[in-house]
Amino acid sequence: MLVLGLCMLPFNACAQQKFTISGTVTDAQTGENLIGATITTIELKQNGVVSNDFGFYSLSLPTGTYNVQISYIGYTTVNVKIDLQKNTILNQTLNSANALNEVVVKGTNAPANENISNPQMGLNKLDANIMNNVPVLLGEKDILKTIQLLPGVKSTGDANTGYYVRGGGSDQNLILLDGAQVYNATHLFGFFSIFNSDAIKDVSLYKGGMPAAYGGRLSSVLDVKMDEGNNQNYHFEGGVGLISSRIKAEGPLVKGKSSFMVSARRTYADVFLKLSGDSSLKGSSLYFYDLNAKLNYKLDDQNTLYLSTYYGKDNIGLKDNFSTNWGNSTASLRWNHIYNSKLFANTSLVYSNYNYAINNLSDNNVFNVASRIKDLSLKQDFTWFAGARNKITFGADITRKYIKPGNIQSTPTAIYNSTKIEDRSADEFAAYISDDMKIGSRINLVYGARLNWFSLRGPGTFNTYDVNGVITSTKTYSSGQSAQDYLNLEPRFSANYTINEANAVKASYNHNTQNIHLLSNSTAALPTDIYIMSSNNVKPGIADQVSLGYYRNLQHNQYEFSAEVYYKKLQNQIDYKNNAQLLANENVESQLLYGVGRAYGLELYLKKKYGRLNGWIGYTLSRVENKFDAINNGNYFPARQDRTHEVSFVGIYQLKPRVTLSAVFVYGSGNAVTFPSGKYKVGGVTTYYYSARNGYRLPSDNRLDLGVTFDGKLHKKYHSGWTFGIYNVYNRKNPYSVIFKDTKDSPPRTEAVETSLFGIIPSVTWNFKF
């Protein structure tokens, strides 16, 4: 009995002694950290771990001799024999298959199957091969257009980079660039994204089972990480396309310890406008540019500093009459510290800014509109590798938010009156904890919670409105005084049951809240979109999502198949009253309606990861419905992002070592739209009467895109190549919108006119690297 009692003491005193293998996994050629590398042993495969966002890992094992296997997609697997008698540091470099002139990584070198053992659901990671070869509009490689090809993700419009995830609104997606929020991730009204693929290292999209470290949005997280730069050698690369050019430089500041990366991109449609014979076009502008930069410095084996910045701007102008410009700027300063083999910390100071301005200088209608949203955040994250079967992540962050909703300066004859809307500010604090726990050899749980406190601050005057938009009370608050507070607990849970090495079932639940809200009457990302904060009138958005999935691997892990079903309940959703005035309206909250929503669906996904052919086939069957008391007689109606069926096919085929073929096919059933059910005339002007909201459907759309890439001869120091693409190969006129107009017949008839954006569009890009 005494022996039994001793064995029940904390820390398993009678258990076999354990030690830790820890370190970082890096690219042998560039020195960059490898995110998500798998570290396991041949003897105890169930105890494998993956490297974190900074390449760090920690693996606890009983004393003994092990064959440690380190693997990563696109890299050769390394086996290291270790006699574990004490805590051991193993920093490992991996060779890229491309660096070894290998066409593919063979199935036998495939990493241990993380998607089977990991309880994380709804996670899609994009690898460089897919991002760089998917054919897109005008040959401009685009992360956002690529994720739209995944099941559960819907485009806001043909060729538009805006997207919906599992029924949520386009503003309900958290987009991060090296930890900094991006509020408008589009260029040229949504046709291109701000992400220059040359500067991007890793892309992860979370559609469900959102980790507790993320918060502030209801539907998804898109976590984009920039390239760190090569700390071994200097490299330059870039490309020249039909509408833009780009260039990237990287190299060591201190070889093996510090590196830099700078990447720039600019369109030049404005250059061609100057060649026009039309004087109005000759003086017009139409361009965007962006700049990415990143520095890192390894102080010692325990400390590394990272500095990331982004700056981008759009400028569109019509000679001297009209102009609009908008842009994002972000900066992230991060400090990694390894306390010991089991405790890893990351401290971040993050800045984000988005602003736009509209200037109209036409005769008798001179006005200027300006708006801005800005964040400053301090965040502390910890990862504690508590044991072989427990990994605990915890942390906290505090953010000061500032919004300039939109001021108008105008002349007396302008269509807009001069308006000065009060600025708004708020503090948001969050703390989280999550435990990734393995139970036996088959069950893995991740459970935790996030506590969010939001405080709307003065100075300012705050109105309260009734359901008719009438002011019922007004209060004034001084600087720093709390005008409205919300405290929300957000539980998160994921579970995985591994049936065998190739099959698993998973389940997840998460509760999310959102305190920042986008007001827009358009599906496209326009610079006139405005943001407001939760207030006494606008409650935080709430989403509860439950997911269940089956996962299977085929043919030695070369194929991954998954089937996920989900149900999402949405509360405190926003819509607009008829003829709502959103732009520069100091009483904009009086124009809003509040309701609920629900979304549910099935997602099928078959992905091929290895071999000459890579890509996936995706299918989504879904329904998205909203309910507002003042719309559709208080009954549920289809949301504008409701599309019943969507199919995507993505294929990348390595025909020869220097020739890559690519194809994309998409099909989607028609979007929900509202058509008039009658009309009447007032003062000779036709006015349409609308009944059921989104009671009709546009025709289905489909499109085929093709591409081919020719890599030039791979010289030791320099090589170049060409990429040719055809967007919308068979010139399908996909419906973008429908307008109604009266014919000139007597009596006039009303006809529906369907509009589309793009027909067949060829592209060519010259790429170089040295």
Residue 102 has a pLDDT of: 39
Q: What is the mean pLDDT of the chain?
A: 88
**Would the pLDDT of 417 be above 80?**
no
Q: What is the maximum alpha-carbon separation in the chain?
A: 104
Q: Which residue has the higher pLDDT, 490 or 718?
A: 490
Cis peptide before 540 (omega within 30 of 0): no
Q: Residue 2 — φ and ψ, nearest 5°? A: -65, -40
Sign of CA dihedral 158, 163, 168, 171: negative
Q: What is the mean pLDDT of residues 425-439?
A: 96
3-state secondary structure of 129: helix
What is the C-alpha to C-alpha distance for residues 55 and 674, in angstroms, rounded to an integer?
50
Query: Would the CA dihedral through 146, 151, 152, 154 be positive or negative?
Result: positive
Across 292-313, average pLDDT: 96
DSSP SS3 for 146: helix
Residue 137, φ and ψ in degrees, nearest 5: -60, 125
Distance of CA 135 to the CA centre of its chain: 20
Closest CA to 564 of 553, 551, 577: 551
Higher pLDDT, 626 or 609: 626
Asked if pLDDT for residue 409 goes beyond 80, the answer is no
Least confident stretch, 96-100, 508-512, 519-523: 96-100
pLDDT digits (tens, 9 = 90+) for 156-196: 777 677 899 999 999 999 999 999 999 999 988 788 899 99
Q: For residue 198, which amino acid is it?
A: D
SS3 148: coil
Predicted confidence (pLDDT) per residue in 450-502, tens digit: 999 999 999 999 999 998 899 999 999 999 999 999 999 999 999 999 999 89
Distance of CA 296 to the CA centre of its chain: 24
Surface-to-core class of residue 22, CB atoms within 10 Å of its CB (0-12 exposed, 13-18 middle, 19+ buried) = buried
Residue 390: its H or E element: strand 390-410
Q: Specify the pLDDT at position 715.
A: 62
Beta carbons within 8 Å of 532's beta carbon, 6+ residues apart: 403, 405, 424, 516, 517, 519, 538, 588, 589
* pLDDT reading at 548 higher than 70: yes
Residue in the structure block whose two tokens are 């170089």: 768
Predicted local confidence at residue 491, as pLDDT: 98
Q: What is the pLDDT of residue 113?
A: 74
Tokens 């049951």, residue located: 497
Measured distance CA(445)–CA(494) in Å, rounded? 6
The whole-number pLDDT of residue 763 equals 92
Compute how many other C-beta atoms are within 10 angstroms of the C-beta atom of residue 387.
17
Q: From CA 295, how far away is CA 250, in angstroms rounded?
A: 10
Give the whole-angstrom CA distance, residue 397 versus residue 379.
4
For range 229-252, the mean pLDDT: 94
Residue 2 has pLDDT above 50, yes or no: no
Measured between alpha carbons, how far is 315 from 327 in angstroms, rounded to an integer?
Answer: 9
Give percent of the chain above pLDDT 70. Answer: 92
Enclosing H/E stretch for 270: helix 269-273
**Residue 744: strand, helix, or coil:** coil
Residue 279: strand, helix, or coil: helix
Give residue 363's pLDDT.
67
Cβ burial of 746 (10 Å; 0-12, 13-18, 19+) is: exposed
Cis peptide before 747 (omega within 30 of 0): yes
**Tens digits of residue pLDDT in 615-658:** 999 999 999 999 999 999 899 999 989 999 999 999 999 999 88
CA distance linking residue 307 with residue 228, whole number of Å: 10
Pairing of β 92-94 and β 18-27? parallel
What mean pLDDT comes out for the span 724-740?
Answer: 88
pLDDT of residue 591: 92
Question: Percent helix, strand, coil in the chain (nearest 5)?
Answer: 5, 60, 35
Q: Which residue has the higher pLDDT, 622 or 283?
A: 622
CB-based burial of residue 573 (10 Å sphere; 0-12 exposed, 13-18 middle, 19+ buried)?
buried
Query: Does pLDDT of 572 surpass 90?
Result: yes
Q: Report the candidate in 228, 253, 254 with the shortest Cα–Cα distance to residue 334.
A: 228
- 281 or 588: which leads in pLDDT: 588
Confidence (pLDDT) at 305: 97
pLDDT at 415: 65
Vertex 547 angle, CA 595 and 163, to 5°: 60
155 close to 523: Cβ distance less than 8 angstroms = no
Query: Would you say the C-alpha torsion 415, 421, 427, 428 has a positive or negative sign?
Result: negative
Q: For 90-94, 136-140, 211-215, 594-598, which range has the lowest pLDDT when averaged over its residues?
A: 136-140
Tokens read off for 494? 């994921």
Distance CA 510, CA 354 (A): 29
Lowest-pLDDT range of 77-81, 100-104, 257-261, 712-716: 100-104
- Highest mean pLDDT among 603-607, 670-674, 742-746 belongs to 603-607
Distance CA 748, CA 750 (A): 7
Positive or negative: CA dihedral 176, 178, 184, 188: negative
Distance, CA of 287 to CA of 187 (rounded, Å): 9
Helix or strand run (H / E) with residue 605: strand 592-608
Q: How far, in whole angstroms, is CA 558 from its chain's centroid?
A: 26
Phi-psi map region of 210: left, alpha, beta (phi>0 left; psi -120 to 50 alpha): beta
Q: Give the separation between CA 725 and CA 8, rounded to whole angstroms.
A: 66
Give the range among 56-70, 580-594, 604-618, 732-746 with minimum mean pLDDT.
732-746
- Could you give all domains of the chain from N- to C-terminal order, each with its CATH number? 16-112 (2.60.40.1120), 123-222 (2.170.130.10), 223-769 (2.40.170.20)
- Whole-number pLDDT of residue 485: 97
**Lookup: tokens for 430:** 């969050």
d(CA 761, CA 728): 7
CA separation, residue 448 to residues 1, 213, 398, 413 (Å): 37, 10, 19, 58
pLDDT at 714: 62
- pLDDT over threshold 80, residue 521: no
Residue 5 has pLDDT above 70, yes or no: no
Residue 578 has pLDDT above 70, yes or no: yes
| Model pLDDT, residue 528 | 67
According to DSSP, the residues that pair with 82 across neighbouring strands are 66
- 664 touches 149 (CB < 8 A): yes
What's residue 324's pLDDT? Answer: 87
Task: Among 58-62, 404-408, 486-490, 706-710, name the one with the lowest average pLDDT.
Answer: 404-408
Asked if pLDDT for residue 670 goes beyond 80, the answer is yes
Name 683's Cβ contacts closer than 8 Å, sequence gap at least 6.
Answer: none
Four-residue CA torsion sign, 199, 201, 207, 212: negative
Return the closest-CA partner of residue 92 out of 82, 84, 100.
82
Kindly give the pairing relationship between strand 173-177 and strand 180-181.
antiparallel
Confidence tier at 12 by pLDDT (50, 70, 90): very low
* CB-CB contact of 456 with 423 (8 Å): no
3-state secondary structure 187-232: EHHHCEECCCHHHEEEEEEECCCCCCCCCCCCCEEEEEEECCCCCC
Whether the pLDDT of residue 359 is over 90: the answer is no
pLDDT for 200-209, tens place per residue?
A: 999 999 999 8
Decide: 378 and 349 in contact? Cβ < 8 Å. yes
